[in-house]
A and B are shown apart, each in its own frame.
Chain A
Amino acid sequence: MKRILSIGICLIMGMSIVLAGGAKEKASVSTDGSTSMEKVIGALGEAFMNQNPGIKFTYNPTGSGSGISAVKEGRCDIGLSSRALNDSEIAEGLNQTVLAYDGISIVVNNSNPVTGLSIEQLALIFTGKIANWKEVGGNDQTIVVIGREAGSGTRDGFETITGTKESCLYRQELTSTGDVIASISQNPAAIGYASLSSVKDTVKTLKVDGVIPSEQSIADETYKIQRPFIMVTSNARTLSPSAQAFFDFAMSAGTESIISNAGAVDAK
């Protein structure tokens, strides 16, 4: 009896694998890259699947650098990057399309009395030349600089705009936006950067040059620390019909409210 049962279970499991494989015939579009774009691309994907129930949408949050490699190596349909492609990447046959603009929020612990910093002050803090919060009007405590790993689009955007490329002195280099926010919420002396769309009230957002990041201050460019959200495609391969459908959907005029609800500013 037991034996018959176990053979039966094996058969069912085997069949389910085969059948699930069959169901996978369903058209799909795969995206891979920037963790900062999670909210925007998640909202777009969801709306897209609602409109096209026959197409399966996937998003793999790995980081901008990794998304660019993935599309180059053909491991996904559309790569997602929160920094513009550099010359060598364009020379390798990659294409970029700006989907939206995002602010990089400068965040500190909720208990920190500082409310704003200038870009010069930020550069001095992140390169270690200002080491104590009292030098910028805060408490007498050592500043803890928290950043992202070297492949991050947020890090690239922040360091490019503040002119601190390769000279930042980090106390911690974390591998996702969420880890950065969690660490800062635990440490009263910490400062870090994170995508505007992922910042919640567990941390405090600072004004930069007197401007708080918001959809409006990003659109009119008064908030300086902003970068593009781009979709990366390869010249070597044409998009599958389903991937092309998603691409067109994301770039269509109707998605403006989806993108702004997710905290970014539509680029069209």
Chain B
Amino acid sequence: MPSSKTREVSISALLLAVTLVCVAAVLLITVYLMWAGLPAISEIGLGNFLLGKEWASTSSNPKFGILPFILTSVYGTFGAILIGVPIGIGAAVFLSKIAKGPVKRILTSAIDILAGIPSVIYGLIGMLTLVPGIRKLFGLPDGASLLAAIIVLAVMILPSIIKLSAVALDSVPKEYEEASLALGSTPMEAYLHVSIPAARSGIIASIVLGIGRAIGEAMAIMMVSGNVANMPSLFGSVRFLTTAIASEMSYSSGLQRQALFSIALVLFAFIMIVNALLHLILKKGKKHE
């Protein structure tokens, strides 16, 4: 038997090694995206690439402007947050403060199931119900639109917003609410004016996580957004950064393929910014406590 000390050392070395695998994967992806994505940007020109309004990658006179994709991704994510956050926070307050016993258990497992549904299923159901629904409701010729994608994304980000916000609300000390009640507030006033502000940093973190999920989703929105490289409009057919890559990568070649990697690089930059933001908020939240 090895002594307990060598065993300790060897186990911690093993744990270090598996952690390094993750770090290596991140480094590899970063370096590869830079290497694969930068040549096309320098060939097309950063301004033309980021601000060009036309994407015609396979035409005889190809154009590689990704402004429509960037704006679509930004609007789509913003729209999803606009719808998802009020619903998510409301549900989190109910779950954390009001629901008790079996009701709470059933709701929690329903939200867990929602989180586990594969994105292609969201897309399929959206394509067969939401898209015709939007067409009929608004009297449009076709329902595949930015709006359909926003609604699908809003539902998809709900579980992460609800779960994280509920955890943050759970950890608000009971004394805060009790003090508020003792001063004559109703329970609802206490939740709205005391609990939510106290759980602020956790709730904001959940929103940022939702943004990250929404910006990175491809499969579900590809099936409901129409997938044409137009400048975004709420009822128009649109293409996101993610779906632009997914719909062309398999048959692309030459500059087109390089440009798709450049789109991936832009998407990666977006995700990095969102993560940095999350980090900042969590750090700031810690300082306040």
Contact = CB atoms under 8 A, between A and B. Distances in A.
Nearest to A146: B142
A93 to B, nearest CB: 15
A182 B142 CA distance: 13
A150 B59 CA distance: 9
A142 interface: yes
B58 A151 contact: yes
Contacts of A96: none
B250 A150 contact: no
A173 B228 contact: yes
A65 B251 contact: yes
B230 to A, nearest CB: 10
Contacts of A174: 227
Contacts of A28: none
Contacts of B141: 141-144, 171, 187, 189
A27 B143 CA distance: 48
B250 A171 contact: no
B144 interface: yes
A112 interface: no
A95 interface: no
B226 interface: yes
Given A141-B141, A172-B237, A173-B228, A65 B250 contact: yes
A183 B127 CA distance: 8
Contacts, number: 74
B233 interface: no
A171 B226 contact: yes
A186 B135 CA distance: 10
B237 A66 contact: no
A144 B236 CA distance: 12
Contacts of A166: 56, 59-60
B228 A175 contact: no
A57 B141 CA distance: 43
Contacts of A190: 142
B42 interface: no
B247 interface: yes
> Size class of B's contact patch?
20 to 34
Contact of A186 (B128, B226, B237, B247): B128
Contacts of B143: 187
B222 interface: yes
Nearest to B141: A142
Contact of B228 (A66, A69, A142, A170): A170
Given A171-B141, A173-B247, A150 B228 contact: no
A166 B56 CA distance: 9
A221 interface: no
Given A144-B141, A144-B142, A183-B127, A149 B247 contact: yes
In the complex, which range does the number of interface residues on chain A fall in? 20 to 34
Contacts of A175: 222, 227, 247
B142 A171 contact: yes
B127 A172 contact: no
Nearest to A170: B228
B253 interface: yes
A62 B250 contact: yes
A258 B143 CA distance: 39
Contacts of A66: 250-251
A166 B63 CA distance: 12
Contact of A172 (B56, B58, B228, B252): B228
A179 interface: yes
A63 interface: yes
Interface string A137-175: 000011110000111000000000000001000111111
Contacts of B127: 179, 182-183, 186
Given A150-B248, A151-B251, A166-B56, A171 B237 contact: yes
B263 interface: no
B285 interface: no
A62 B248 CA distance: 11
A171 B228 contact: yes
Interface in B125-152: 127-128, 131-132, 135, 141-144
Given A150-B58, A172-B142, A174-B227, 13 more contacts: A69-B250, A141-B141, A144-B141, A150-B57, A151-B250, A166-B59, A170-B228, A173-B237, A179-B127, A179-B223, A182-B128, A187-B132, A189-B142
20 contacts: A63-B250, A65-B250, A66-B251, A144-B142, A149-B247, A166-B59, A166-B60, A171-B142, A171-B226, A173-B226, A173-B227, A173-B228, A175-B222, A175-B227, A182-B127, A183-B131, A186-B127, A186-B128, A187-B135, A187-B143
Interface of A: 62-66, 68-69, 141-144, 149-151, 166, 170-175, 179, 182-183, 186-187, 189-190
Interface of B: 56-60, 127-128, 131-132, 135, 141-144, 222-223, 226-228, 237, 247-248, 250-253
Leading 9 A-B pairs by shortest Cβ distance = A65-B251, A151-B251, A142-B141, A66-B250, A66-B251, A150-B58, A172-B226, A144-B142, A173-B227
